Chain A
Amino acid sequence: MHQLTIAEIIRGLREREFSSVEITRQLLTRIEQLDGDLNSFISVTAESALRQAESADQRLAAGDAPALCGVPIAHKDIFCTRGTRTSCGSKMLDNFVPPYDAHVVEQLQAAGIVSLGKTNMDEFAMGSSNETSYYGPVRNPWNPGHVPGGSSGGSAAAVAAQLVPGATATDTGGSIRQPAALTGTTGLKPTYGRVSRWGMIAFASSLDQGGPIARTAEDVAYLLSAMAGHDPRDSTSLNRPVPDFTATLGDDIRGLRIGVPKEYFSEGLNPDAAARVQDALKEYERLGAELVEISLPHTHLAVPAYYVIAPAEASANLSRFDGVRYGYRCENPADLRDLYMRSRGEGFGEEVKRRILVGAYALSAGYYDAYYNKAQQVRRLIKQDFVQAFGQVDVIMGPTAPNPAFRLNEKTDDPVAMYLEDIYTISANLAGLPAMSLPCGQVNGLPVGLQVIGNYLDEARMLNVAHQYQQATDWHRASAPFAQTAGEQ
Chain B
Amino acid sequence: MSVDKQTVEQLAELARIAISEETIDEVGKRLGNVLQLVDQLQSVHTEGVAPMAHPLDEVQALRPDEVTEPDRREEFLQLAPQSEQGLYLVPKVID
A interface, CB within 8 angstroms of B: 96-97, 99, 191-193, 206, 232, 235-236, 238-239, 300-301, 303-305, 307-308, 311, 315, 319, 322-329, 333-342, 344-346, 348, 353-354, 356-362, 364, 370-371, 373-381, 383, 415-416, 419, 430-433, 456
26 A-B Cβ contacts within 8 A?
Answer: A99-B76, A192-B54, A193-B56, A232-B61, A232-B63, A235-B60, A304-B37, A304-B39, A308-B38, A319-B15, A322-B16, A326-B79, A329-B82, A333-B91, A348-B17, A357-B8, A361-B3, A371-B38, A374-B41, A377-B46, A378-B41, A379-B52, A380-B50, A415-B30, A416-B37, A432-B56
Q: Is the interface of A mostly helix, strand, loop or mixed?
A: helix
Task: Give complex CA distance A301, B38 in Å.
Answer: 9
Q: Is the interface of B mostly helix, strand, loop or mixed?
A: loop
Contact A378 B55, CB 8 Å, known A339-B91, A354-B31, A357-B27: no
| B14 close to A (CB within 8 Å) | yes
Contact for A303 among B11, B37, B81, CB less than 8 A = B37
Contact for B56 among A192, A356, A379, CB less than 8 A = A192
Q: Verify B34–A336 contact, CB threshold 8 A.
A: no
Q: Verify A360–B11 contact, CB threshold 8 A.
A: yes
Can you name the residue of chain A whose Cβ is closest to the Cβ of B88? A324
List, in ascending order, chain B residues with CB within 8 A of A337's CB: 16
Q: Verify B30–A354 contact, CB threshold 8 A.
A: yes
List, in ascending order, chain B residues with CB within 8 A of A311's CB: 34
Q: Could you tell me how many residues of chain B have their Cβ less than 8 Å away from some Cβ of chain A?
A: 49
List, in ascending order, chain A residues with CB within 8 A of B18's CB: 341-342, 344-346
**CB of B90 to closest CB in A, whole Å:** 5
Task: Give complex CA distance A3, B1 in Å.
Answer: 51
List, in ascending order, chain B residues with CB within 8 A of A357's CB: 8, 11-12, 15, 17, 27, 31
Task: Give complex CA distance A178, B43 in Å.
Answer: 29
Can you name the residue of chain B whose Cβ is closest to the Cβ of A298? B44
Q: Verify A301–B15 contact, CB threshold 8 A.
A: no
| B75 close to A (CB within 8 Å) | yes
Interface string of B59-73 (1 = CB under 8 A from A): 011010000000010
Contact for A345 among B17, B35, B52, B90, CB less than 8 A = B17
List, in ascending order, chain A residues with CB within 8 A of B33's CB: 415-416
Task: Give complex CA distance A324, B16 in Å.
Answer: 13
Q: Supply 6 further A-B pairs (C-beta < 8 A) apart from A322-B16, A345-B18, A379-B52.
A: A235-B60, A324-B90, A338-B91, A356-B17, A364-B14, A371-B41
**CB of A339 to closest CB in B, whole Å:** 6
Q: Verify B37–A336 contact, CB threshold 8 A.
A: no
Q: Verify A206–B54 contact, CB threshold 8 A.
A: yes
| B6 close to A (CB within 8 Å) | no
Task: Give complex CA distance A340, B12 in Å.
Answer: 11
List, in ascending order, chain B residues with CB within 8 A of A377's CB: 44, 46, 49-52
Q: Verify B46–A335 contact, CB threshold 8 A.
A: no
User: Which of A335, A348, A358 has the most chain B CB atoms closer than 10 A to its own CB?
Assistant: A358
Q: Verify A433–B55 contact, CB threshold 8 A.
A: yes
Contact for B40 among A304, A379, A419, CB less than 8 A = A304
Contact A323 B44, CB 8 Å, known A99-B75, A356-B17, A415-B34: no
Q: Verify A325–B41 contact, CB threshold 8 A.
A: no
Q: Verify B79–A97 contact, CB threshold 8 A.
A: yes
Within 8 A of A (CB), among B10-36: 11-12, 14-19, 27, 30-31, 33-35
Can you name the residue of chain A whose Cβ is closest to the Cβ of B33? A416
| B58 close to A (CB within 8 Å) | yes
Contact for A378 among B46, B58, B61, B80, CB less than 8 A = B46
Task: Give complex CA distance A433, B82 in Å.
Answer: 43
Task: Give complex CA distance A456, B72 in Å.
Answer: 38
